[in-house]
Structure 1
Amino acid sequence: MNLLKFFLKRFFSAIFTLFLISTITFFLMKAIPGGPFSKNEKLSDRVRESIEEKYHLNDPIHKQYLDYMAGLLKGDLGPSFARPGVEVSDLMKQGFPISASIGGFAILMVILIGVPFGIIAAIKQNKAPDYAISFLSTLGVCIPSFVLATLFIFVFCYKLNILPSNGLDSWKHYIGPVVALGGFSLAFVTRLTRSSMLEIMQQDYIRTARAKGLPESVVLFKHGLRNALIPVVTYIGPTVAAILTGSFVVERIFALPGMGKHFTDSVGNRDYTTLMGATIVFAALYLVMILIVDVLYVVIDPRIKFD
C-alpha cells in the first residue's frame, strides 16, 4: 500500500511539474520579439499574415495557450513552423532514437568504467592507481564536452585519420560522440564513487564486519559498495535523462541528426513548437528518471522506506 501511495503521489507530482514546465515554456517563447516567419524577408506582409492566420498565431495569447495544451493532452506537439507539413512529434520520433543510441552507450561507459575506477582508487588510496585515476578524473571534469569533442575530431579524425568525424554508419562513428558525451560524467562518477567509498569504509559497521572476520570482498561489496552507491545513483539518474536526449553541442559538432540538431535549428528559426516539444520530452524523461532513482534507493538500501 505504501508503494502504491508513493507512486500515485509522485505520478501526480510529475504531471503537475510537467504542466508548469509546459506553461512556462509556452509563455517564454511567446515573449520573444518577432515570430517564426518574421525573419523571412521574401514574404510580403499579406502572405505573412495569411500564414500566421493558418497557424492561428494571430489568435489571442490565452486561446493559443489553451489550444496548445489541449493538443498536448492528446499527444499532439503541433506542426513545425520551419518545416511545412511536418509534425513536431515526427521530428522527435526521428531524433530521439539517434540521441538515445549514443546516450545509451555513453551511460554504459559511465557506469561500467566510472564505478569500478572509483572503487579501485578508494581501495588503493594514496597509491599509484589512486593518483593516476584521480588525475585523469580531475582532468575529465575540467574539460567541457564541446572541447573534448573538438579535440577528439582534431586528433583522431584529422591528424591520425583513424576514425570518422560525422555520421553513424558504423560502430567507429559512435566512438567520438560517446566519449565526448560521457566524458564529464565518467570523470565525475569516478570521483564521486571514490569519495563515497572512502567515507563509507570509515563507518562503525564496516569495522564491525571486519572484526567478525568477514572476507574483505564481502565487506567491500556487500556492506560498503551498496551504501556508497546511493549518491552515485542520485547523480546518474538525472544525468541519464540529459545523456539520452543528447548533448545539443556534441551532436552539432559531429553532425548527427538527433534531437540536438532539431533543438538548435528551432532556436535559430524561432520554431516555437519544435523548441517546446524538445523541452517537454526532456522534462518528461527527467521526471521519469527521478522516480526510478527514488525506487532504486529502496532496492540498494532496505533501511530506506517509501514513507
Structure 2
Amino acid sequence: MAKYILKRLAVSIVTLFVLITVVFVLVRVMPGDPFTGEKITPEIKANLEAYYGFDKPLPVQYFTYVGNLLKGEFGYSMKFMNRSVGDIIALSFPYSFDLGMRALTLSISLGLIFGILAARNRGKKLDLFCVVVAILGTSIPDFIMGALLQYVFGIEWGLLPVAQYLGFQYTILPSIALGFYTLAMVSRMMRASMLEVISQDYIKTAKSDGISNLRIVWRHQIRNAIMPVVTMLGPVVAATLTGTFVIESIFAIPGMGKYYVESVQNLDYSLVLGMTVFFGSVMIFANFLVDILYGIIDPRIRLGGK
C-alpha cells in the first residue's frame, strides 16, 4: 500500500508542475494589457512592469514564480491594491468551501440512498421517483435551478432568503442548487452499478449460502457498486469545494467565483494565475485521495499497480 501511495503522490506532483507551467504560459500570452488607463503614463507602466517582474525574460519570471510558490507566496493582485493573492484566497475560499461541503454532504448522501433504493426496487414507484429526480437534475442547468428555488421559496412563499450568506437559512437554497446536479449523477450511476452487481453470479451464490440479505447488500452489492461513483468524485469534489461561479453570483456569495470572474475581466494576471493554480491543486489533491480510496475499497487496484 505504501508503494501505491508513493506512486500516486509522484504522479500528483508531476501533474501539479505541468499545470503550473501551462497556466503560467497561458496567462502571459493572454490578449490585453493590465497596465492601461487614462492615468497610466509610460513611466508609470514601466515602474509597474518592473515591480511585478514583467520587464524580465519569461524564463526568469517563471522560475521566480515557482520559487515563490514553494514558499507559499502567490504574489500581489494588480487590481486590488496592497492585497496579496493569498489574502484574497484566504478571504474567499472559506465561503466556497462551506457552501461546497454542504452541497456535497447533501448530494452524495441522498444520491447514494436514491441509487440504492431505486436499484433494490426496480420497476416500482420508488424507482420511478428516483429516476425522475435524476433526469431533472441532469437536465436543468444550475443557474436555472437556482433561479427557480429563489422564485418559489424566496419570492412566492417567502420561506427562505434569496441572497447573501449570513446564516444557516441563507445556505439552504444555494446548497440545493449547487448539489442537485451531483445528486442526480450519483443517483443514476449508483443505480446502474447496483443493477449490474445484483445480477452477478456471486450474489446468487451468497444468497444460496444463506448469508443474510443485509450483509449481501452491504458487503457485496454496495461495496462493489460504489467504485464507479468514487471515480467521479475527484473532480466533482474539487469543483464544488472551490465554488461554482454561477451559483455564487446568483446568490451574492463572496466566494472564489466572484474574485475569479473579476480577475479575468480586469486582466489581473497575478490573481488569475494564483486562483487557477489553487483550484488545480485542490483538484489534484482530491483525485489523489480518490486514488487512495480506490486501493482501500478494492485491493486489486493497488496490487495491479504493483
Query: Do the structures match in fold with TM over 0.5?
Result: yes
Report the Cα distance in structure 1 between the residues aligned to 2:269 and 2:44, rounded to whole angstroms: 20
Alignment partner, residue 294 of structure 1: 291
Alignment of 1:31-180 (within 5 A): 31-38=29-36, 40-180=37-177
Distance 2:157 2:81 in 1: 42
1:230 aligns to what?
227
User: What CA deviation, in whole Å up to 9, does each residue of 1:21-50 have, x standing for no partner?
Assistant: 111111111111222222x33323332232
Q: Does 1:18 align with 2:33?
A: no
C-alpha offsets along residues 193-248 of structure 1, whole Å, 9 cap, x if unaligned? 10000000000100101111222222112211100011111112321111110111
Partner of 2:28: 30
- What percent of counterpart residues are identical? 39
User: What TM-score results when the alignment is normalised by the length of structure 1?
Assistant: 0.95
1:266 is displaced (CA, Å) by 0.5
> TM-score normalised to the size of structure 2?
0.95
Alpha-carbon distance, 1:51 to partner: 2.1
Moved more, 286-295 or 47-56: 47-56
Choose from 187, 191, 196 the match for 2:193: 196
Alpha-carbon offset, residue 61 of structure 1: 2.0
CA drift at 1:154: 2.2
- Taking only aligned residues, the RMSD between alpha carbons, in angstroms, comes to 1.4
User: Matches of 2:262 and 2:121 in 1, distance apart?
Assistant: 48
State the match for 2:282 in structure 1.
285
Relative distance call for 1:302 and 1:66 in structure 2 (3 A) is closer
Task: Please say if 1:255 is aligned against 2:252.
Answer: yes
Give the drift of 1:4. Answer: 2.4
1:103: Cα distance to partner?
0.5
Structure 1 residues 33, 304: closer, same or farther in 2, change over 3 A?
closer
Moved more, 250-259 or 4-13: 4-13
Question: Which amino acid is the alignment partner of residue 288 of structure 1?
Answer: F
3-state SS, counterpart of residue 173 of structure 2: helix
Conservation of the 8 A alpha-carbon contact between 2:108 and 2:182:
no
Give the letter for the 2:33 counterpart: G
Distance 1:32 1:293 in 2: 33
CA contact (8 A) 2:34 2:268 kept: yes
- Would the aligned equivalents of 2:163 and 2:252 in 1 still touch at CA under 8 Å? yes
What is the SS of the residue equivalent to 2:90?
A: helix
- Tell me, in whole angstroms, the C-alpha distance in 1 between the residues paired with 2:66 and 2:291: 29
Call closer, same or farther: CA 1:116–1:148 in 2, change over 3 Å: same
Q: How many residues align?
A: 304
Matched, 1:240 2:240: no
Displacement of 1:53 after TM fit? 2.3
Task: State the 1:304 CA deviation.
Answer: 3.6
Which 10-residue stretch deviates more, 284-293 or 203-212? 284-293
Residue of structure 2 in register with 1:181 after alignment: 178
- Who is 1:217 aligned against? 214
Contact 2:245–2:258 (8 Å) recurs in 1: yes
d(CA) in 2 for partners of 1:84 and 1:141? 41
Corresponding letter in the other structure for 1:175: I
2:264 paired with 1:267: yes
CA–CA distance in structure 2, aligned partners of residues 155 and 270 of structure 1:
37
Equivalent position of 1:8 in the other structure: 6
Asked if the contact 2:186–2:229 (Cα under 8 Å) also holds between the matched residues in 1, the reply is: yes
Gaps of 5+ in 1: none
Measure how far apart 1:274 and its partner are: 1.0
In 1, the alpha carbon distance for the partners of 2:264 and 2:43 equals: 25
CA distance in 1, matches of 2:296, 2:63: 41
Runs (4+) off by over 4 Å: none
